[in-house]
Amino acid sequence: MIDEVCADCKKEMVGNVDAFKRALAKIRTGRANLAMLDGIRVDYYGTLTPLNQVAALAVPDPRLITIKPWEKNMVAEIDKMIRASDLGLQPQSDGEIVRVPIPPLTEERRRDLVKTAKGKAEEAKVAIRASRRDANEMVKQLQKDGDVPEDDAKKGLKRIQDETDASIKQVDEILAVKEKEILEF
């Protein structure tokens, strides 16, 4: 019983850390990164479709993303949606390919991005702690119902806390790497 609760808790916490990694991938660092465009959807015959499903994306150099739509009529739509996004990018198109130059970040923008990353880290930590709280409640309920002895319940609570500490440490390490990446010139 306790093992199942601990395994479920660990699985949830790993999921929280993965969600945090995905959220950080969307934050600009001054270098071209295809994950920046993951949130952009274009109108493809009346359906909002992810950009990578209507075009080939590439990073030919660290400061440029190229987008080659499979249909030429999508160039204007892709350009419009990138401009409308909150990424602050100015795409250029030649009728066949959309080029998205990645401008260098200003110091102020870098600080804002670090704040955003720290906010995402805090959200991830809150989600991890919520998983811990739920698992702890389950263990305490099992003990109260008499399904597990007190010693096993204490061991289970300790395992859950250890997993929580490890997950939060992992979030902090990922944040430190991203912060360094953002502040790097």
CA dihedral 35, 16, 48, 78 (to 10 degrees): -20
Predicted confidence (pLDDT) per residue in 117-159, tens digit = 999 999 999 999 999 999 999 999 988 888 889 898 899 999 9
pLDDT at 148: 87
Question: Looking only at Cα atoms, what is the longest distance across the chain?
Answer: 71
**Separation in Å, CA 53 to CA 45, 69, 79, 113:** 13, 9, 15, 28
- For the chain, domains (ranges, CATH) are 2-26+106-183 (1.10.132.20), 34-101 (3.30.1360.40)
What's the whole-model pTM score? Answer: 0.74
pLDDT confidence bin for 185, thresholds 50/70/90: low
